[in-house]
Structure 1
Amino acid sequence: MLRRRKEPRPSSTDQGRTDCNEDIPADDAHSYITPSKHTPKPLWLLNKTVGPGGPLRPFRLIKQDLGNLRQRYLSDWKIFNQLIVASTVYVFFTNLLPGITFASDLYVLTGKNWGAIEVVFSTGLCSIIFSLFSIQPLTILGVTGPFSVLAENIYSLCHEAFNIPFLPFMAWSLIHAGWLHYLLAIFNAHDWTMGYVTTFSTEIFSLLNSIIYFHKAIQELERAHSNLSFAAFLYAIMGAVGTMLLAIFLSTAESWKPLFHRYIRLGLSEYAAAISIILFIGLPHIGELAHLDKSTLPVSTTFQPTSPERHVFFVEFWKLPVRWIFAAIIPGIIITMLFFFDHEISSIICTIDRYKTRKPGGFAWDIILLGTTTALCGILGIPPANGLLPQAPLHSESLMHADTEEVIVEVDGQETVEFRPIRRVYEQRWSSLLHGCGILAFVSPPFMKVLGLTPTSVLAGLFLFMGEQSLSVNPILYRTFYLLTPPSELPILPTELSSPSTISATETPPRPSYMPIHLYTLLQLLITIAIFILTLTRGAPAFPVLIILLVPFRLLVMKHWFRREVLKFVDAWACKAGTPEDSGDKDENLQEKKEDQDGGNHAGVLQPRRDSSDRV
């Protein structure tokens, strides 16, 4: 019995969905002016670029996204069950706790301008706005590690070099970043930017995030060493390492079968970080440990900014001298680069094929929202939130459930319908809205006092855990292990990776060498280390520029350093199927086909021989 699988017809919810590599249909033919031979070349290029269907056609993607949002919005509110409640609690802890961890760092390195209440306020406010109005509610927003590094260096420049107030300058930087986000969305930046990003760049960016987390943990312990007694410092190290190890241990609870019931194992793994943090927050208050001095998270006891010089969440940004208003465009551009890249990658990761999303999505409208919240945070004097890379897939993973897929199969010429079990994510807005409301509630004084009980050593342990979780799924880590593995123990590579010079038509191809892959991995490691070192210098605000430059570096330079087969094996497009080298394969196939046709057309005809003088 021969069974041939047919692709199911797209449902009505799939028809509005588009990917970054799909062509957008042109508008009404009557609105299109066809260039003629008399049209000047500049006008012809302009019409081709901004005309209907052109890559820079203003508002093209925004119009498409608004249509998709209208199509899916009501259905996003119709799903609510126990799994969504569990996901809400899980995302609440994985977003709030890292946020207050960054708050501890920002409190010290921004001269007390930003603290726990600012970070919590920003995370809750932006999460609620995106849960209500974004086109992709699975994306989780919060204050990120790369922006914390950027903000700390901007404060250092304002305080030590420029001698100007930090918050007004940052407010203008974020306002400039806001309208720059608008421009990127209006002119369809997703199509002509993220369409060229490969995993080479995203893996480096993810590794950089992991290193930043580890570095933040070390900074917290360094401050504990300076401010605490030796005994308290030793316990701070134990608290940090213990928080990390217990969280890692509990996160593997699903594999403890047959120990405990399935739901108990699932709960332990989902709430691993929360259980570990709560335990090590309470442990120092028991027995002799209660007499140790400890460094805790500084918080506000009233609904007021952290800085004693401020009384309301509002920045008088117009009082900044005009020359510094224009100078703030430079950090505004850098923040735009960082946020655009970070948020787009987060949105892509939480909707990959593994999660079987069906509803239409988009990117341009969310960039409009991101620009709005970024400028709003600048005016309020709080750090802006954007898409979180580690938390983005965690949200989708927590919403995975069993479902069935309708598949049409053909058996002996008869088409039948089968329902096959699959796992799919719940596409809804409740978990984003409820976790955002829960985080925003912590700006109230009673909840702030609860946050104030958190030792900074526990926050350092959370940094270590987040870094480990992010690093453990990075392909760079596994390829780094290959560097330390004896060649005889390495997996066998495909034969097409063999060097052409070692392949003979009469002999069996030799085993491909791992050397090109090792060199590729070492290049990624060296680039990541170089960017991280830059974040420790005065040039740290420019590190997002280097991350963006990795895109043309990969497409234009690396093809001259590595063979096409190697790049196809280790790299791929970030938001569409295939690799950059696929286009080269197509060109070669077309050339071979053309040569075959030419050979057939001129069969039996003696062709003149071309010597070296005939070559161009």
Structure 2
Amino acid sequence: MGHGTTLPLTLHISLGRWIKFEEKVEDGGERWSAPHIPVLPLHSLFQLRTCLQEGKMLLDLEAPTFKEIIDKVLSGQPEETELQPELREHLADLLLRQPRHQPTKSLLWLIHEFILSPCLGRHGAWPWVATWLSPKHLLRTAASLSFQLRNQFKKKVPPGAEVAHVVVGEVEFLEKPFTAFIRLRQGVGLGSLAEVALPSRFLFILLGPRTKVKAYHEVGRAMATLLMDELFQRVAQQAEHREDLIAGMEAFLDELTVLPPRKWDPSTRIPPPSCLPSPYRSLLSLSALPQDHRAPTRLAVSWQWGHGSSWGQNWPGGPMSQGGAGEDRQRDATFGAGTDIRRKAPWYGSDFTDALHPQCLSAVLYIYLATVTNAITFGGMLGDATANMQGVLESFLGTAFAGSIFCLFSGQPLTILSSTGPVLVFERLLFSFSRDHSLDYLEFRLWIGLWVAFFGVVLVATEASHLVQYFTRFTEEGFCALISLIFIYDSLKKMLSLADAFPINWQYRLDNVTFYSCVCRQVREWGVCKVSVYDPSLLPVLSLQPPAVPAGLSRTQCLGQGGHLLGTSCQYVPDVTLVSFLLFGGTFLSCTVLKHFRSSRYFPVGVRKLVSDFAVILAILTSCTVDTALGLETPKLLVPSELKPTNPARGWIIFPFGANPWWVCLVSAVPAVLVTILIFMDQQITAIILNRREYKLQKGAGFHLDLLCVSLLMAITSATGLPWYVSTTVISLAHMESLRKESASSAPGEYPKFLGIREQRLTGLAVFTLTGVSIFMAPILKYIPMPVLYGVFLHMGVEALNSIQLTDRVRLLLMPAKHQPDLAYLRHVPLRRVHLFTIIQLLCLALLWVLKSTVAAIIFPVMLLALVGIRKGLERIFSLHDLSWLDSLLPESTRKEAKRGQPREQEEESNGEEVGRKRGLAAVRLDGQRPAPIAARDRRAYGGLSR
């Protein structure tokens, strides 16, 4: 094309965009592709480097409009490469044309356009067609801006993002390529140049004569991919000379991975990984940058391609700031209760305001039902073990009182207090001992509780909680696995017990219905009467004979009047056991499926998140609806309806003297030591698990304050004859999981980022308040089947068991090596050593289970403490290197490693994320001094971690 010819029609078409991963417009031009990792030809990167070395470069350009930017770019050419006036006019005319963006609209908006399209004329449904064909619309119009505002794609862009535009294409009036890289001093809105209305910061232009179309196309993709790199993005923002950008690109090439040709299909789209490595390279390289430029910055890239085409691509690329991981648990533990109070006091107001979120309502309902079920279960067990000296009513009142006080004044209000299996075992042994030695159980228990409270206060005063630093993963996982297995075992045991209360009619034969009958045999004068024990709508074949007397007696009336039932059909009940197991399994599966619905491909993100947050409630409501529809008399949730002690022989206040000899108050100190060990281990191990770094708690922990609250509550509950309460691991973990926060917006292809836990006191307080008033809610709660709640118990136990590394290592025992997942510790520890460590943990877990279940349960607290000694002994079997990957080092071992000068990096896997954890890694010094310009010889400063 000659310089004087009329400019032909040229289209600017958006062909791709980047948020964090690449998206392409499919060949049909109607939809975006799935996000994928960009794959680049190596030669395109070399061509891009040449463009940066030889092309036009304007850094910190000040221009308020896109037209002024183009004018300055075209007018500031060096003399040897200066464009002729006609070429400048053609280029300006080309670059200022209206771009066509591939729309990202909601389904409702597309339906709206489809309905209105006949009323808008020939091009009504596609308003930009007229814009392309009309020469007067060379500049951006107000209509295109409205397209930006209604674009649903903006929801995917994180707040604070900026745009970078990459414009590439071929034109006939140029004889050699024209290249320009522009960085604006401040982000400027450039109208509808970008797909979304965001300020623009960078522009890259590459126009040239006709050649291989893919050549310019791939160079543009390379530029966009380079801007997507977190390190190069910061270099581009702070570069002062051309050499700085070249150095940043050289660092990018240093870490580039090249795949050989003909060994894979380049057209294959690689899906984004579930987790990305931590950007240590960027963090260490930024040590040379001035302090005022180190704040993370997001960037969006718009890339426009044209035959004259225009390729628009938006990418917010800076690293998302991670929420703090909470204070170090060892540091928290070394401070006293007073320091815990001073640290938590500034957060007290926000502990209530932060609960004003719909997610907290779901958590309250979920944990309330779990707490009520737990109170009924352990209350019933306590009643059986203590001759109803403590029963279901005492369990309800104690749970409500102790839990509410703890939530109001504790250091970690997300903890849920409850009766636990180890405490129940001790109560059973204590009652048996009191009965065998003619001692008053409640008075004896009162003195034990007072001694435990005293010992607990002494532990708080002496800051004994610093011993938690010796509770490593080995101890935590053993205890957590034990409690999780207790939940699973108890839920299955309760379900199997239904077969005794509602036996399955294995001997029923349809052909023998004529032989089935049931007779109520009375001792009184009217003799024998027949009893109808069926519902005609359910099983009419059991209606065998009419009653012997006009006024027939029901089964309940017969037994109530001293009669007894005779006959082959007297024990018949509908298949309640079968339906109960269906409700049990259905609730468990529904909870599991709906909880993971957040990562499903179906429905919008908001719907998936809502369903996931209310997963347990939806599962319970669904199972209750099914149970009501079936109409069978399945066992229901029954709560006490009267405020009086379960055993009439006891009162609400336990007096310390009168029933037992005086020396009992002194002897009680001996069993109190065992209970103190149990309470200390149970409370502190649960606190350690809840305050893990991966939960990203912001308000800190309160190990001393929590122990002080539990100790004082021990004295109060002992004096009132209520059960003892301590932190329950499984329900507390379920409480934490129900309050997880994730990023509201995420780039296409990027998994939502875990932001932390919604830390507040109101959900726990509401749960225990509802538990207390449940006595007055019996008419409503009686419609909830117990198998449904047992299914929730099973779900909590399985979820807690799956949250520990021990479960993963147990699976490895059953996997061939070639099918094992790529876990961090498998890269550094021999597989046989991993299996040996797992087997030792399983043996300790089995020993804990045996001690809990036999007469040797009295030494169960000592065995918990012995886990720390066993862990210390493992240092004679495993090297410190292996233990640092499979577990965490004890304080003495950590100091030895520091003296030897063996710093190294360690990766830790948690909640689907790779959390980088460094040991002995020197901190990067940030002195705030502005460095010299980055020269090519200094590009190693932007390289990866030195090994």
TM-score (norm 2): 0.49
Task: Please list the CA deviations of residues 454-476 of structure 1 after superposition, one character each: whole Å capped at 9, or x if unmatched.
Answer: 55444443332222122121211
Report the equivalent of 2:273: none
Q: Could you say which structure has the greater relative contact order, defined with CA pairs below 8 angstroms and 6 or more residues apart?
A: 1
AA aligned to 2:880 is R
Is 1:254–2:598 an aligned residue pair? yes
Which residue among 876, 899, 906 is the counterpart of 1:587? 899
Distance 1:23 1:472, change over 3 A: closer
> 1:218-233 residue pairs with structure 2 within 5 A?
218-230=492-504, 231-233=575-577
Which residue among 570, 578, 585 is the counterpart of 1:241? 585
Is 1:166–2:441 an aligned residue pair? yes
Report the alpha carbon displacement of residue 495 of structure 1 after superposing the two structures with TM.
10
AA aligned to 1:251 is K
8 A contact 2:369–2:789 mirrored in 1? no
Report the equivalent of 1:270: 613
Report the alpha carbon displacement of residue 484 of structure 1 after superposing the two structures with TM.
0.7
8 A contact 1:117–1:448 mirrored in 2? no
Q: Structure 1: how far apart are the matches of 2:628 and 2:342? A: 55
Distance 1:212 1:402, change over 3 A: closer
Report the equivalent of 1:66: 341
Is 1:521–2:838 an aligned residue pair? yes
AA aligned to 1:134 is S
Distance 1:245 1:426, change over 3 A: closer
> 1:452-601 residue pairs with structure 2 within 5 A?
454-491=784-821, 513-555=830-872, 557-572=873-888, 581-589=893-901
Distance 1:236 1:107, change over 3 A: farther
Report the equivalent of 1:139: 415
Aligned-pair Cα RMSD in Å: 3.4
Distance 1:490 1:541, change over 3 A: same
Report the alpha carbon displacement of residue 165 of structure 1 after superposing the two structures with TM.
3.8
Q: Structure 2: how far apart are the matches of 1:284 and 1:458? A: 10
Report the equivalent of 1:214: 488
Task: Please list the CA deviations of residues 231-271 of structure 1 after superposition, one character each: whole Å capped at 9, or x if unmatched.
Answer: 44444444433333333233222233314x54443344334
Q: Structure 2: how far apart are the matches of 1:515 and 1:456? A: 44
Q: Structure 2: how far apart are the matches of 1:176 and 1:400? A: 38
Task: Please list the CA deviations of residues 526-585 of structure 1 after superposition, one character each: whole Å capped at 9, or x if unmatched.
Answer: 111111111111121321210111112212x11111222221111016xxxx87643332
Q: Structure 1: how far apart are the matches of 2:839 and 2:455? A: 35
Q: Structure 1: how far apart are the matches of 2:489 and 2:823? A: 36
Structure with greater helix percent: 1
Q: Structure 2: how far apart are the matches of 1:523 and 1:495? A: 17
Report the equivalent of 1:114: 390
Q: Structure 2: how far apart are the matches of 1:353 and 1:65? A: 18
8 A contact 1:77–1:430 mirrored in 2? yes
Report the alpha carbon displacement of residue 365 of structure 1 after superposing the two structures with TM.
1.9
Q: Structure 2: how far apart are the matches of 1:453 and 1:112? A: 26
Report the alpha carbon displacement of residue 85 of structure 1 after superposing the two structures with TM.
3.7
Q: Structure 1: how far apart are the matches of 2:839 and 2:778? A: 45
* SS class of match (1:21): helix
Task: Please list the CA deviations of residues 417-457 of structure 1 after superposition, one character each: whole Å capped at 9, or x if unmatched.
Answer: xxx98713333322232222222221x3x324544555544
Q: Structure 1: how far apart are the matches of 2:788 and 2:381? A: 13
8 A contact 2:370–2:792 mirrored in 1? no
Report the equivalent of 1:425: 757
Which residue among 81, 88, 94 is the counterpart of 2:356? 81
Larger Rg belongs to: 2
* SS class of match (1:423): strand
Is 1:183–2:445 an aligned residue pair? no
Report the equivalent of 1:357: 697
8 A contact 2:372–2:771 mirrored in 1? yes
8 A contact 1:177–1:374 mirrored in 2? yes
Which residue among 429, 447, 451 is the counterpart of 2:777? 447
8 A contact 2:638–2:782 mirrored in 1? yes
Report the alpha carbon displacement of residue 180 of structure 1 after superposing the two structures with TM.
1.3
AA aligned to 2:655 is E
8 A contact 2:414–2:732 mirrored in 1? yes
Report the equivalent of 1:322: 662
Q: Structure 2: how far apart are the matches of 1:176 and 1:104? A: 27
Report the alpha carbon displacement of residue 285 of structure 1 after superposing the two structures with TM.
4.8
Report the alpha carbon displacement of residue 214 of structure 1 after superposing the two structures with TM.
2.5
Report the alpha carbon displacement of residue 497 of structure 1 after superposing the two structures with TM.
7.5
* SS class of match (2:616): helix
Report the alpha carbon displacement of residue 281 of structure 1 after superposing the two structures with TM.
4.9
Distance 1:482 1:305, change over 3 A: same
Report the alpha carbon displacement of residue 286 of structure 1 after superposing the two structures with TM.
4.2
Distance 1:329 1:269, change over 3 A: farther
Q: Structure 2: how far apart are the matches of 1:495 and 1:465? A: 28
AA aligned to 1:473 is S
> 1:123-138 residue pairs with structure 2 within 5 A?
123-138=399-414
Is 1:367–2:707 an aligned residue pair? yes
Report the alpha carbon displacement of residue 125 of structure 1 after superposing the two structures with TM.
1.3
TM-score (norm 1): 0.74
8 A contact 2:402–2:417 mirrored in 1? yes
Report the alpha carbon displacement of residue 492 of structure 1 after superposing the two structures with TM.
6.1
Report the equivalent of 1:506: none
Task: Please list the CA deviations of residues 271-294 of structure 1 after superposition, one character each: whole Å capped at 9, or x if unmatched.
Answer: 43344445545655544624xxx5
Distance 1:470 1:149, change over 3 A: farther
